[in-house]
Amino acid sequence: MDNNHPFSVFSGTSTRYLAEEICNSLGCSLGKMNVQKFADGEFGISYEESIRGHYVFLVQSTFPNADNLMELLLMIDAAKRASAQKIIAVIPYFGWARQDRKDKPRVAIGAKLVADMLTAAGIDRLITMDLHADQIQGFFNVPVDHLYASTVFLPYIHSMKLEDLVIASPHVGGSKRANSYSKYLGCPMVLCHKSREKANVVSEMTIIGDVKGKNVIILDDMVDTAGTLTKAADIMTNAGAKSVRAVVTHPVMSDPASTRVDESSLTELIFSNSIPFNKSCKKAHVISIADMFADTIRRVHSGDSISEQYLI
């Protein structure tokens, strides 16, 4: 690399699998760090090698439980106190992103709170992917590199060579993402309109557009309990769709998501490895984002543009 400052990559406990892949792609070793745990659940972080003057990249998705976020905050603070030159948080899945605004009275804006905590801890930059809401970038007063999983998903969609392809969004909020894919692939787009009784419970869903005789790919930024995805797939199948697949960035996959997916009319559920997925799901297909993040880390360290990564 051209940059005069050395760089180091460290990982939180829950995202080590991905950090190791990223380091393999970079051709470097994962930094040595110790997590000391106490009997009451408290834990402490210490770096086992010098990072003075380094560009330090800290890889950790902040999915629940809150220990993952707290671990990252302690990693940032320890790096700052160890005289790191720059501290870059690499957060493939940015948790609490669904709380991005006040949608009813007397609620917290969790995404802004997390942004404030990361900034106060001392990050100089954030690298993340497919935020639940684009405006979360504005919650930070440091540069944000917002990557898109389309970089790895589109080549896979091309490789399937599906005829009569239709791109679908399971909710109106995802229409921008679906529209970008449909324009790039040169195919039609359909929308699902849903109403909820409460969080994770869909009461009613209707399709806006024609799916009869089509191979449908549903796009979303995350799958939690899979209620929306599987209901959309079943409705589209009943409406005459030839096949229905789902391409989702972040596999939250809370129970009973795996069971719902396997029992649904979905042909395949494709997602990234931004969150560790250790459950059994016969229809799941995981695509690694390690090379994309490794290339971004390389470019950030050398001061090169990352815009070449964006297919759409």
Under the banding of pLDDT at 50, 70 and 90, the label for residue 3 is low
The pLDDT value given to residue 11: 98
- For residues 229 and 218, is the Cβ–Cβ distance under 8 A? yes
DSSP secondary structure string, the chain? ---SS-EEEEE-GGGHHHHHHHHHHHT-PPPPEEEEE-TTS-EEEEESS--TT-EEEEE----SSTHHHHHHHHHHHHHHHTT-SEEEEEESS-TTTT--S-SSTT---HHHHHHHHHHHHT-SEEEEES-SSGGGGGG-SS-EEEE-THHHHHHHHHHH--SSEEEEESSGGGHHHHHHHHHHHT--EEEEEEEEEETTEEEEEEEES--TT-EEEEEEEEESSSHHHHHHHHHHHHTT-SEEEEEEEEE---TTHHHHHHHSS-SEEEEESSS---S--TTEEEE--HHHHHHHHHHHHHT---GGG---
Model pLDDT for residues 11-53, shown as the tens digit of each residue: 999 999 999 999 999 999 999 999 999 999 999 999 999 999 9
What is the mean predicted confidence (pLDDT) over 208-213? Answer: 94
- For residues 157 and 285, is the Cβ–Cβ distance under 8 A? no
- For residues 73 and 117, is the Cβ–Cβ distance under 8 A? yes
Mean pLDDT, all residues of the chain: 94
Alpha carbons 13 and 96: distance in angstroms, whole number: 19
Rg of the chain taking only CA atoms, in angstroms: 20
Q: Look up the pTM and report it.
A: 0.94
Under the banding of pLDDT at 50, 70 and 90, the label for residue 132 is very high
Residue 122 backbone class (left: φ over 0; alpha: ψ -120 to 50; beta: rest):
left
From 86, 102, 104, 194, the catalytic residue: 194
Model pLDDT for residues 164-191, shown as the tens digit of each residue: 999 999 988 889 999 999 999 999 999 9
Alpha carbons 130 and 143: distance in angstroms, whole number: 16
Q: Strand 268-272 to strand 33-37: parallel, antiparallel, or no bridges (unpaired)?
A: unpaired
Q: What distance lies between CA 79 and its chain's CA centroid?
A: 24
Alpha carbons 146 and 165: distance in angstroms, whole number: 28
Model pLDDT for residues 52-84, shown as the tens digit of each residue: 999 999 999 999 889 999 999 999 999 999 999
- Is residue 32 annotated as part of the catalytic site, yes or no? no
